[in-house]
Amino acid sequence: MRRTPALIIGGGPAGASAAIRLAQNGTPHLLLERSRDTGDALCGGFLSWRTLESLARLGIEPDALGPARVTRVRMFAGERMSEAPLPRAAHGVSRHHLDTLLLARAHAAGAPIERGIIVRETTTRTARLHDGTTIAADALFLASGKTDIRGLARPEAARGTDPTLGLRVRLGPAPGLDTLIGDAIELHLFDRGYAGLVLQEDGTVNLCLAVHRSRLTHAGDPEKLLVAIAAECPRLGDRLAWRVPGAIDAIANVPYGWRATAGESRLFRLGDQAGVIPSLAGEGMGIAIASGIRAAEAYNRGGAAAAPAFQRRLARDLARPIGLAGWVRDAAERPAITRAMFPIVRHAPILVDLLARGTRIGHDPA
């Protein structure tokens, strides 16, 4: 049996952020990442201004993220469009680029990282690997993203009776897309779902959809679903015309709205394992990075015993962003409500500002 004082499972934004802060403090730990090479996880690709502050805390400045600055939010419902400025400039970035930066920063800080390691089962004290090896730890940082691991999986009930699917396709690069999207993040609203688009550092556009399973079942398959949504949302159809041929990335049963409200001894839940904010808020990566920083600093101060208080505090701070984003999501997925609200949003852009600010979380406890 191998041993380590602190074990981080997952090398995405949450796990890498925790590793950076532990390494900077000289705290012994080990990070395990299942992929041998850094991929491009299904993700919205939006970094809010608050997330940029958290990244700066880790030593990653906006210039390192590439040129895709975001200053506006543009919303569509059918042919209707509304636009408003963001409170502060944000950034579009691919997960491949962000994860590469974070893991490189962790490595440079001295974090021990092992890749190609699949964790099959966990408790708050041990992790059993794909090769049968067991690693014992005083503290476990669970940063496996949307992937649940046997032993500490999130409850099935969190997924609901008509669970949400995440779909992602890539558009461009193309000058026409630069003109269409520009420095905006776009939200396209439709029955039982929505789509978000943002330019990334390589000139491509990341298009992610959150759609209830009932819509996919009715359409028959993801390709037919995209055709149906494009017909329903002509402006989105214009953008889908720039789609890069290839597979549609998908993830099933996303438990939007779930939070880990009770702390467990020795266990630090990070990112989507701590709370899942509806993706239209654009704060999923922000929560991942902020929770990683918070957990590492709590452990640096109080060791494994700090886990329950850390989790309860994080759950409390996530209540407003996740709750507010959930309310907006519920309204956005109902065409009748969207049609009624659109004139209000168009003539009162301050509402977008308030919603944008209300769904953020920082790396320092509130």
CATH of the domain at 136: 3.50.50.60
The contacts of residue 154 (CB under 8 Å, 6+ apart) are 148, 255, 258, 260, 273
CA distance 286 to 263: 21
**Residue with token string 């509402």:** 351
Residue 197 lies in a domain: no
Would 228 be classed as within a structural domain? no
Q: Pull the structure tokens for residue 72.
A: 């506006």
Helices then strands (H, E): number in the chain?
A: 11, 15
Q: Which residues of 162-195 are buried (b: 16+ CB within 10 A; e: fewer)?
A: ebbbbbbbbbbbeeebeebbebbbbbbbbbbbbb
Cα separation of 4 and 127, whole Å?
A: 11
Query: Any residues with CB less than 8 A from the CB of 314 and at least 6 apart, and which?
Result: 260, 274, 275, 291, 294, 365
Answer whether residue 272 is part of any domain.
yes
Per DSSP bridges, beta strands 2-9 and 119-122 are: unpaired
Q: Is 248 a member of any domain?
A: no
SS3 282: coil
| Terminal CA-CA length for the chain | 40
Is 13 within 8 Å of 36 (Cβ atoms)? no
- Domain limits at 321? 2-158+255-358
Instruction: Please report, as a single letter, which amino acid is at residue 270.
Output: L
Q: What CA–CA distance (Å, rounded) separates 297 from 67?
A: 31
Q: What letter would DSSP give residue 212?
A: E
Phi, psi of 221 (to 5 degrees): -160, 165
Would you state the structure tokens that stand for residue 189, as one six-digit string?
């609203």
Judge whether 180 lies within some domain.
Answer: no
Residue 203 placed within a domain: no
Residue 185 falls inside a structural domain: no
List 30's β-bridge partners, or say none.
Answer: 7
- In-domain check, residue 303: yes
Is residue 7 classed as helix, strand or coil in its secondary structure?
strand
Q: Could you give the angle at the alpha carbon of 96 between the alpha carbons of 95 and 99, nearest 5°?
A: 75
- Contact (Cβ atoms closer than 8 angstroms) between residue 150 and residue 120: yes
pTM: 0.95
Angstrom distance (rounded) from CA 57 to CA 270: 17
Cα 313 from Cα 325, distance rounded (Å)? 19
pLDDT at 351: 65
| DSSP-derived 3-state class of residue 197 | strand
Q: Which residues contact 127 (CB under 8 A, 6 or more apart)?
A: 7, 9, 32, 119, 121, 134, 135, 137, 140
Q: How many domains are contained in the chain?
A: 1
Per-residue pLDDT of the chain (366 residues; tens, 9 = 90+): 899 999 999 999 999 999 999 999 999 999 999 999 999 998 889 999 999 999 999 999 999 999 999 999 999 987 788 888 999 999 999 999 999 999 999 999 999 999 999 999 998 889 999 999 999 999 999 999 999 999 999 888 677 789 999 999 999 999 999 999 999 999 999 999 999 999 999 999 999 999 999 999 999 999 999 999 999 999 999 999 999 888 899 998 899 999 999 888 999 999 999 999 999 889 999 999 999 999 999 999 999 999 999 999 999 999 999 999 998 888 878 777 776 666 666 655 666 677 778 888 888 876
> What is residue 309's predicted lDDT score, i.e. its pLDDT?
96
**What are the residues whose beta carbons fall under 8 Å from the beta carbon of 116, sequence distance 6 or more?**
33, 34, 35, 36
